[in-house]
Structures are given as structure tokens and as C-alpha cells.
Structure 1
Amino acid sequence: MTIDFTIRAAEVIKIEAAAVEQLKQYLDADFNLACQLIFDSAGKTIVTGMGKSGHIGSKIAATLASTGTPAFFVHPGEASHGDLGMLSAADIVIAISNSGETAEVLTIMPVIKRLGIKLIAMTGNPASTLAKLADAHLCVKVEQEACPLGLAPTASTTATLAMGDALAVALLDARGFSADDFALSHPGGSLGRKLLLRLEDIMHTGEQVPTVLYSATIKDALLEISKKGLGMTAVVDEQGKMAGVFTDGDLRRILDQRYDIHSNQIADVMTRNCITAQAQQLAAEALQIMQQKKINGLIIIDDAGKPVGAMNMHDLLRAGVL
């Protein structure tokens, strides 16, 4: 028997999309209060939850931590067996429970209250015990679960995750959190490389920079390109300032013209007003320029207009930017 699985899948997506859309009605004074409590806190934000709520809570904590709000997840079962020692009065606790009656979460509430820690609850039941204990309650109530049995947390966990993202991004915006800030917490991944890596980190320097005088012959330029292996050479004037560039592409364009590589000067065939870059530019920005201009390399110049570096697409590839 052939089953069309997409029919049920479409229903799931429809139900969960509706659940997220309905969250807008819960962006109220309590949401503002929750954000303000976290924003004003001198401590960390601790997220806790049991089962599927715990999995969602772990992700919310990770999102907060990577967007400027120091946060971590604590399992409520472990919390009641010693991990509550991680908490201080300056911290904020976000407790997640769809029913608001999860025993493991409620068990640690007396200690949180005794420490004077502000509590933010995320539940689907504003009348629940957890919601009533909270200083701010974020409602994540959904009309129905996407599970046809109404048992597996589906739409409710999606709504909770979306509310957590709303909280994290609202705080990110309030803190003025920038792309550079984001990169500092993601130095090991591709995002970090794109946001942090600058041309000075990957460019060839010193004797590795292909350079010839504009009085040099085409042959001299070709030998320099071959020697340095970057597919191009900078052409400089007598003061060492950038006058142009000659690339493999330029060579192909002059092959059908009557140039004598032994006698014609490189100044006759070089590309003037060429695209250059600065050492402090982001590697990702250089990649964008090269793609837009359809070029394979860049000469990096200093403030005086003198070549100080060179790089090509292979360097970006090795650095993980491409």
C-alpha cells in the first residue's frame, strides 16, 4: 500500500504555524517585564524544564547565550540534587512546563524563592501553580497539538521555542548586540570566520606579493606571476605606488594582439584603475567584491597606495570563508 505522507505533514505544519501566529496575543506586559528582569540582571539566566520542555529549554538557553545574554540550562532533577548550588540571588530563572504542574520543576521552586531569585514561567496554563509563583508569566498556550492523539508535545513545543526566540532577539536588540559581538561567541564556526577574519589574517605579504615596475616587460610580469603563483601581479610606479594590475585574464585577452612580450612594457597592457582592498577589510567583504566584479584575486594596499599584500580565491577557500 502506498501512503501519501505529505498530507499529514501539511496538517502538522499548518497547526504549528497557527500556534506560533497566536503567540502575538501573549506579547503583553508580562513579556515586557520578563525582558526587563533579564536585561537588568547582574547575574545569569538559568533555564530549566523537564522532558520535551527541557530540550526546548536547552535550546533557548543556547540562543540567549549566543546573543548577548549569559545563560545556561539546568535539569530540574539534577538541580534538586546539588546543581542548585550554581544559582545566586542575582540570577534569573526561566522555568518551562506546558502544564505548569511538572513535579520536578515545582520541587525546586521553594529554594528559588528563598534565594530571592526572580522567576519567569513559560506555561500553557496561566492558572497553574508555576504560573502563579512566577514574577512574570509567558503564556505559550496552543489550541491543539499537531499529534492526532493530542499526546506528543508538538505545537506546544514549537510555540515555546518561538517565544524563547522572541525573548532572546528582543534582548539582543535592546543590548545593541552587533555582528562583531556575535562572532566573538562563534569563533570556531563558519559564521565566526566570516565575521571575524580580515584580509591581513590570510593575505600573502613581503616577498610573496607579486610586484613589477610599470617599466618592466610583459615577459618580466609573466615570470613574476609564475613565480608567485597567485595568477596576477601588481604593477607599481617608481615610488612603489599601485599603478595597475596584470592577471592571467589580461594575458588571455592580449594573445590575439601583436604584442612582443620581450619588448613591450607591462604598462601598455595592464589594467589601470583596478580593484584593490585594505588589510583591515573583512575577508567576507573581499569575497563579495570578487564575486561581484568577477575577479579571482585582490592586491591589498596601504594608506599610501603601496601594495602590502595579495590574495586569491584559493586563500579564501583555505580559510573557510568560501
Structure 2
Amino acid sequence: MSDSEKSRRQGKPTHGDNPSVTNPAGNPLAGNPNAAAAGTLPAAPSNVTVAETVPPAEMGAAIAADAAKKAKFPVSHLLVRGFLCTPFLGYGAAVVFAMVSAGIPLGAAGLIFPVGYVTLSFLGLEMATGSFAVMPIGLYAGTVTLWQLIRNWFWTLVGNLIGGIFFAWLLWFSLTYGGAVPPNPMLVHIAHVAEHKVAYSQFGIIGWCAAIGMGVLCNWLVSLGSVMSKSSRSTLGRAVLMWIPIGTFFALGFEHTVVNMWLIPTGMFSGADVSIYQWWVWNQIPVTIGNILGAMVFNGTLWYYTHALNP
């Protein structure tokens, strides 16, 4: 009688009877090396824990990497992504103005506005006001050149402007049947807001500087959308962190150059007493300057400087 037969009669397990027999080290794979591949054994537990929150220094590195990607986009893609961006801001703002025209306070209605920003962010579109913070960080980190920064800003702004004017015309045309019927309450409210946005002209050079200040206050907040989106690894976390500064800006009524590329043309189509000269000289140009300063100085320079040198 063989040893194997003796063992079986005595009730002792053999390698043939128990494919998961352990080796002296307690490895359950020793008896059947194909068991793991066949999926018959549970995977070994992992001791690696991934934190959802990203430290500021890592956020800066991720933003610098994004800047490098933006610098490589062909002009055609900057134009397309910029063109597609502004209408989503227009959608969000239009919802707010529809709510305000129905009697809801701006502070409450403005909390809805970030829906457009979150949408364009997850779609990977290009908004100049975000790039006003992202590209300087790339410049300081050495991932982009000054020429690449200027190129990105210019073509993104052009794409944003084309998209804004197109969406303004499409919205006005669709709601008024090409001017056959009067503007609805939402369009009337937008026209009043457009007139208010060029009222800086009443105060001369001080008014022009005030428009710059309103742009600084705006994009100090808005450009945080691009920055704070890097502080979470979860989709929900990113959406919430972007929502906070964007909703705050709109509720406070600060000046955003890309939003105005849609809002003021919509108001002009809807009968606002605003000329192209007033639009550009008394709003679009000073607000753009303010948006650049707010993002580049406070977020793209000071915030990045302190965390890059002292992580």
C-alpha cells in the first residue's frame, strides 16, 4: 500500500485532495499556483490609502502641468474650446436672470450660476479668466514660456468672444422670433443690467478704475475655480469646491469679462441703450485688465509663491 493511500485511510489530507494546502510559510497559493489567476482566491488586502484632499503644493504642481498642456493646444482648438465655453456661462446666467425677473433675490438666484462653470470645466473647455491664473503658475514653474502664455490668453479670449456673441444672438433671436415679438421679462432684465455695466462712464477716470477694481474682485474669486478644482480627487468634491467661489462672485455682482462677452451683447440685441464704444471702453477693456490682475497677482503669483517655496 502506498504512502498516499495510507494517509487517505488515516484521514490525513494530501496535496491532491486539498489544492489550497499551505506551505510552511502559510502561503495558500503554494498548492495551486493557478488559483489566483482563475479568480478562486480573494485578493490580498491593500494597505495603501489614497487621501481625497490634495495639499496646496501638489495642487500647484498639477496646475503647472495643466498649463503645459494648454500651451500645446493648436490655435484651432483654443478657438473651438473657447467658443464652446461662453454659452455655458450664458446658460447659467440666463437661469439666474429668469429667476430674478420672477422676483427671486439676486443673492439667492446667483447660487445657481456655477452650474455653467462646473459644466464647462468637466467638459475641458477653455475660459480665459481661469487661464489668467493657470498660465502664470506654469510660467513660474518653467512649464510654459511667456510667448505661450500670451498666445493662450489671446486666442482663448477670441474664442470666448465669438461664442458669447453667437449665443447672445441665438438666445435673442429664438425668444423674440427674430425681433417679431417684444423681449420677454428675462431679456428686459438683461438689457437693464447691460446698461448698468457701462454706467462707469458717469464717473470718468475714477469710474474706469472702479471697473478695474470690480474685475480684480471678481477674478480673485473666479480663478479659484481652476485652483480649487485641484484640491480634491473626487468628482463631487471638485464640483463643490468650484461652486463656492463662483457662486460668491455672481451673488456679489462683480465684473467678469467672459460673462460680459455674452451679457452685454444680449442686452444690446434686446434694446439696451449701449453702444459698442461704451461696451468696450467702459466695461470690457477695464474689466479684462482687472480680471488679469486679480487672477495673476493673488492666485497665480502670491498663492503659488508661498506654497511652492514652503510646501
Considering fraction of residues, name the structure with more helix: 2
Q: Normalising TM by the smaller chain, what interval?
A: under 0.3
Q: Give the TM-score, by structure 2 length.
A: 0.22
Considering fraction of residues, name the structure with more strand: 1
Q: Give the TM-score, by structure 1 length.
A: 0.22
| Higher relative contact order, structure no. (Cα contacts within 8 Å, ≥ 6 residues apart) | 2
